[in-house]
């Protein structure tokens, strides 16, 4: 089922492999942590953005470790075959090899598109174009300066849970009172809203309880500049299948889920601040970090407990309540992908 899902969901869906800022300069390359060996996105000397499968055509070694860097060429760590940033095989590695010249030995291309400062790539035949899948999302995010944010922190963690449990958990606040009392005190689940479902994305709102200004210890901005317009609201988005955005009054949370096995998922969590924060003397993001370290640990622990529970022959299949509407819609999209139908 894991391999089946990788082929139907992860190789046909649009995956957020980078933010546009990471690929601005010629020579930039980003390698994603998955699926499998992952995808590469490069910005060539001609300023074109391209994507490739992260695999050498000689004997299949993974070309680049996950992460962002700047390079002149892509060099395979195994026997040193070298690829240009446009994916063509560079100078012949040894006489007579590869056979019949270098043509036809380039990297296997993938598709790549940009959406509001996010770089989305698809390894295979996408279920639909980005413009169609994420129609309306650009307008939703218009007030957030997504192309000019400042990275406060990136953390990678591994959860012993299937990636879908983590996505479903993100899509509902029903679990706030027992799992996240500190979050429930700021953004009560009773005041959660769902944005009308459209395309391959989900949207939800959480209203801040008076007099709180943001999601941080004490609920106060503490001098941190706002991200966009003043709103007593959190906006959460899931870009199917595995990119999660949470727009807070003064920062952006970006989570990406990279399944490593049926019961194991790598979570890359980033916290981004508005550009003004970087220039602010005495700017202190640590209260935000510690707040989310705790909430994220609570989510990981409960999803891992759910993963263990789902293995029980005593579990009969479950149900979704009304406030878990988005989680249900997500499960329905997965079901359609299983049936080889477009998920949305
Ligand atoms: S596998 Fe890449 S050079 Fe041999
Ligand atoms: Fe949670």
Could you tell me if the CB of 61 is within 6 A of ligand 1? yes
CA–CA separation, 270 and 207 (whole Å)? 22
* Ligand 1 center from residue 102 Cα (angstroms): 14
Q: What pLDDT does 197 receive?
A: 74
10-residue mean pLDDT series, the chain (344 residues): 95 97 97 96 97 97 98 96 95 76 90 96 96 94 90 97 98 98 96 88 96 95 90 95 97 98 98 93 94 98 98 95 95 96 94
Helix (H) or strand (E) holding 42: strand 39-43
Through-space distance between the first and last CA atoms of the chain, rounded to whole angstroms: 21
CA–CA separation, 99 and 147 (whole Å)? 44
Question: Which 3 state secondary structure label does DSSP give 5?
Answer: helix
Residue 154 near residue 33 (C-beta atoms within 8 A): no
Residue whose pair of structure tokens reads 């579990």 in the numeric block: 315
Atom 3, ligand 1: which residue's CA is nearest?
A: 79
* Count of alpha carbons within 13 angstroms of residue 166, beta-carbon side: 32
Domain boundaries, the chain: 2-133, 137-338
Per CATH, the architecture of 2-133 is what?
3-layer Sandwich (2.102)
Q: What pLDDT does 91 receive?
A: 75
Identify which of 215, 242, 272, 236 has the alpha carbon closest to the alpha carbon of residue 159.
242
Nearby residues for ligand 2 (ion, Cβ within 5 Å): 299
Note whether 2-133 and 137-338 share their fold: no
pTM for this predicted structure: 0.96
Among the four given CATH numbers 2.115.10.20, 3.90.380.10, 3.40.50.300, 3.40.50.1820, the one describing domain 137-338: 3.90.380.10
* Ligand 2 center from residue 131 Cα (angstroms): 30
As a three-state string, the secondary structure of 184-200 is: HHHCCHHHEEEEEEECC
């Amino acid at each position: 089922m894991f391999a089946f899902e990788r082929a139907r969901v992860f190789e046909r869906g649009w995956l957020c492999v980078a933010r546009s800022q990471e690929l601005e300069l010629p020579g930039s390359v980003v390698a994603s942590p998955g699926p499998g060996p992952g995808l590469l996105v490069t910005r060539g000397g001609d300023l074109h953005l391209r994507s490739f499968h992260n695999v050498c055509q000689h004997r299949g070694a993974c070309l680049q470790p996950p992460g962002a860097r700047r390079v002149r060429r892509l060099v395979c760590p195994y026997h040193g075959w070298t690829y240009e940033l446009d994916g063509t095989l560079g100078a012949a590695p040894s006489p007579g090899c590869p056979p019949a010249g270098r043509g036809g030995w380039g990297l296997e291309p993938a598709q790549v598109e940009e959406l509001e400062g996010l770089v989305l790539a698809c390894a295979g035949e996408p279920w639909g174009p980005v413009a169609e899948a994420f129609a309306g999302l650009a307008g939703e995010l218009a007030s957030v300066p997504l192309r000019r944010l400042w990275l406060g922190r990136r953390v990678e963690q591994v959860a012993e849970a299937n990636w879908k449990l983590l996505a479903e958990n993100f899509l509902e606040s029903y679990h706030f009172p027992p799992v996240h009392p500190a979050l429930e005190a700021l953004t009560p689940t009773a005041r959660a809203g769902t944005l009308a479902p459209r395309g391959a994305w989900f949207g939800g709102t959480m209203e801040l309880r008076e007099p709180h200004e943001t999601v941080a210890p004490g609920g106060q901005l503490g001098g941190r500049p706002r991200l966009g317009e003043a709103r007593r609201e959190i906006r959460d988005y899931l870009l199917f299948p595995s990119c999660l955005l949470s727009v807070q009054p003064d920062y952006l949370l970006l989570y990406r889920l990279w399944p490593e096995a049926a019961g194991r998922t790598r979570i890359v969590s980033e916290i981004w601040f508005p550009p003004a924060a970087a220039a602010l003397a005495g700017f202190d993001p640590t209260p935000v970090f510690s707040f989310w370290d705790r909430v994220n640990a609570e989510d990981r622990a409960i999803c891992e407990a759910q993963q263990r529970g789902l293995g029980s022959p005593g579990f009969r299949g479950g149900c979704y309540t009304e406030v878990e509407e988005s989680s249900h819609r997500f499960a329905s999209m997965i079901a359609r992908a299983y049936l080889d139908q477009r998920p949305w």
